[in-house]
């Protein structure tokens, strides 16, 4: 489940789904909040609005359970969610989304306060009217009726900025209304009214920056030492603990995320998380072992910092996902002896060649539409022999997508 949530969050912040898009700061790779995403204001179709409501359910679940989602949402997002339907963005909110837009508005206000002559101000901003480009497909949007004919003067700068912020907020009103409705259905209106934005952000989404201080707050180090001498035992325990933390300090935030995911199934540290790290007997050959059910990881007492770093990085970087907990090939004890043609569950094994043929639909989906025999992604063309199959069988297979759309309202 935790691994699934991580994958969902990564997909939401990818190009696979248009629900979240990069902020201007993210696209330009400038501070502040360089890695953040925002709601896609172009999603106005009924199909996407339903998905936005479900996205609100997802956030609401995390708010109630302190799920620690791996989503990069700026504080401005939570300011608006907790502010309610009547919330209007501030200049600081704009700064979190688009630093260049923020700077242009601040420079306009600064010029109005420093330039004393109205004629000089009008000359500096000649041609600037009460209209703006919000990147929504329209070249300019009037901020008020007749805004394209209303010039910006030294006396109405604050009015312009106020209308600009309101129009900027209004541009995202529909998508935020859907997300807010989803969160409210799960959490209730009272919880959102009394929830402060920074608390909501911490409950719903965990930080991607895993610091050593944050790790030390959740990690419990257990050192297995069989030395009879009490003083020598304490010295070895201290040496091994110090080595672990020295290695962790050399890891990047991305590698620390992989370390946490190796042990817990999630790449973030949510509130209330606990992680057990067990260092057992000396063995420079064995790799670390993760136990996601108990949020635990154990590895041998490696002899040097270099060996520990190498072994841990090898394990966490090559172990992409949680396995089937012994339900796949072999067993947790490492016994891989199986009957020929069957796996550990008695299921008939399929050869690599047959598997490639079964999955061949993914390659055929890129072919021209006039070459495709069916809309069903599981239908694949296998040459002239496939085309000569019985028409009744083809018709039965072609029910796939169309049948699902008829049964479920996508």
pLDDT in tens, 289-327: 998 888 999 999 999 999 999 999 999 999 866 654 444
More confident residue, 409 or 67: 67
Confidence label for 228 from pLDDT (cuts 50, 70 and 90): low
> Would you state the pLDDT for residue 136?
58
More confident residue, 184 or 376: 184
H helix and E strand count, the chain: 20, 8
CATH architecture of 212-318: 2-Layer Sandwich (3.30)
**C-alpha distances out from residue 312 to 114, 145, 263, 318, Å:** 58, 63, 12, 10
pLDDT in tens, 340-396: 444 444 444 444 445 444 444 444 444 444 444 433 333 444 444 444 444 454 444
Q: 């209730």: which residue's tokens?
A: 188
Query: Is 164 a residue whose pLDDT tops 60?
Result: yes
> Would you state the pLDDT for residue 327?
40
- Average pLDDT, whole number, for the chain? 80
The structural domains of the chain, with segments of one domain joined by +, span 1-205, 212-318, 352-407
Query: Is 49 a residue whose pLDDT tops 60?
Result: yes
Confidence label for 195 from pLDDT (cuts 50, 70 and 90): confident
Choice among 5-9, 13-17, 51-55, 338-342 with the minimum mean pLDDT: 338-342
Which residue from 148, 177, 142 is spatially nearest to 163, judged by alpha carbons?
142
More confident residue, 229 or 180: 180
Which residue from 235, 241, 236 is spatially nearest to 221, judged by alpha carbons?
241
pLDDT in tens, 372-382: 443 333 344 44
Choice among 73-77, 82-86, 308-312 with the minimum mean pLDDT: 82-86
> Would you state the pLDDT for residue 329?
36
Distance from C-alpha of 203 to C-alpha of 65, rounded to nearest angstrom = 8
State mean pLDDT over 100-120.
92
> Would you state the pLDDT for residue 138?
60
State mean pLDDT over 395-407.
43
> Would you state the pLDDT for residue 1?
63
The pTM (predicted TM-score) of the whole model is 0.71
On whether the CB atoms of residues 25 and 94 are closer than 8 A, the answer is: no
């Amino acid at each position: 489940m935790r691994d699934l949530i991580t994958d969902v969050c990564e997909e939401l912040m990818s190009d696979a789904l248009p629900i979240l898009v990069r902020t201007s700061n993210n696209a330009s790779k400038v501070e502040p909040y360089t890695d953040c995403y925002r709601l896609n204001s172009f999603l106005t179709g009924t199909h996407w609005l339903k998905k936005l409501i479900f996205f609100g359910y997802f956030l609401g679940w995390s708010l109630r359970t302190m799920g620690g989602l791996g989503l990069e949402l700026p504080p401005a997002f939570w300011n608006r969610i907790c502010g309610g339907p009547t919330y209007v963005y501030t200049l600081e909110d704009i700064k979190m989304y688009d630093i260049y837009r923020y700077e242009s508005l601040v420079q306009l206000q600064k010029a109005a306060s420093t330039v004393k002559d109205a004629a000089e101000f009008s000359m500096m901003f000649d041609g600037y009217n009460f209209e703006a480009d919000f990147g929504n497909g329209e070249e300019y949007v009037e901020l008020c009726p007749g805004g394209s004919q209303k010039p910006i003067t030294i006396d109405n700068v604050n009015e312009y900025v106020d209308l600009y912020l309101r129009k900027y907020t209004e541009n995202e009103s529909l998508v935020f209304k859907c997300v807010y409705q989803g969160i409210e259905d799960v959490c209730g209106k009272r919880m959102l009214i009394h929830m402060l934005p920074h608390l909501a952000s911490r409950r719903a989404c965990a930080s991607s920056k895993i610091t050593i201080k944050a790790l030390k707050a959740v990690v419990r180090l257990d050192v297995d030492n069989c030395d009879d001498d009490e003083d020598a035992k304490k010295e070895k325990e201290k040496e091994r603990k110090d080595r672990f933390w020295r290695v962790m300090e050399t890891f990047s935030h991305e590698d620390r995320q992989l370390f946490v995911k190796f042990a817990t199934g999630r790449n973030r540290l949510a509130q209330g998380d606990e992680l057990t790290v067990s260092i057992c007997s000396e063995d420079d050959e064995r790799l670390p072992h993760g136990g996601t059910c108990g949020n635990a990881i154990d590895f041998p007492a490696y002899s040097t910092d270099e060996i520990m770093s190498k072994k841990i990085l090898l394990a966490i970087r090559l172990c992409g996902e949680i396995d089937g907990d012994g339900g796949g090939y072999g067993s947790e004890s490492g016994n891989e002896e199986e009957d020929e043609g069957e796996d550990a569950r008695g299921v008939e094994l399929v050869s690599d060649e047959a598997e490639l043929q079964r999955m061949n639909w993914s390659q055929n989906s890129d072919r021209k539409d006039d070459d495709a025999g069916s809309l069903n992604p599981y239908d694949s063309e296998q040459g002239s022999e496939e085309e000569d199959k019985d028409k009744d069988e083809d018709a039965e297979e072609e029910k796939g997508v169309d049948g699902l759309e008829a049964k479920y309202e996508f």
